[in-house]
C-alpha cells in the first residue's frame, strides 16, 4: 500500500470485504452514503485500486488482515430499511 489508510477507511474496507453496499455501510456507521463514497474514493487512490474487489484484495494482501470476527467486531449483514 502506498499510503496508510485512516481508521475510518479501514473500517469501510472491512465492510466492503464482507459484501456490504455503500448504503448499508452508511446506515451502519450513521453517515451519509456520499461520505462512504468519498472515503472509498480516497482509499482507492491511496492503494491504487480501480474497483471494490481490487481494493479489498490489495488491502488484505498488504495488511495480512484475516477476516475474522475479532478483526471486524460486530460487523454482520444487515438490512437497510
Contact 34, 52 (CB under 8 A): no
Task: For the domain made up of 7-63, give the CATH fold.
Answer: Arc Repressor Mutant, subunit A (1.10.10)
Contact 67, 57 (CB under 8 A): no
**CA 18 to CA 55: how far, in whole Å?**
13
What are the tens digits of pLDDT across the range 1-44?
Answer: 457 899 999 999 999 999 999 999 999 999 999 999 999 999 99
Please provide the DSSP assignment of 11-69 as one string.
Answer: HHHHHHHTT--HHHHHHHHTS-HHHHHHHHHHHHHHHT-SSHHHHHHHHHHHH-----T
Cα Dmax for the chain? 37
What are the tens digits of pLDDT across the range 35-50?
Answer: 999 999 999 999 999 9
Amino acid at each position: 500500500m502506498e499510503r496508510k489508510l485512516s481508521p475510518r477507511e479501514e473500517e469501510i474496507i472491512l465492510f466492503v470485504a464482507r459484501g456490504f453496499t455503500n448504503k448499508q455501510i452508511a446506515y451502519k456507521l450513521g453517515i451519509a452514503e456520499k461520505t462512504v463514497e468519498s472515503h472509498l474514493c480516497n482509499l482507492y487512490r491511496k492503494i491504487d485500486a480501480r474497483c471494490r474487489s481490487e481494493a479489498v484484495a490489495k488491502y488484505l494482501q498488504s495488511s495480512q488482515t484475516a477476516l475474522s470476527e475479532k478483526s471486524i467486531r460486530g460487523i454482520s449483514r444487515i438490512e437497510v430499511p
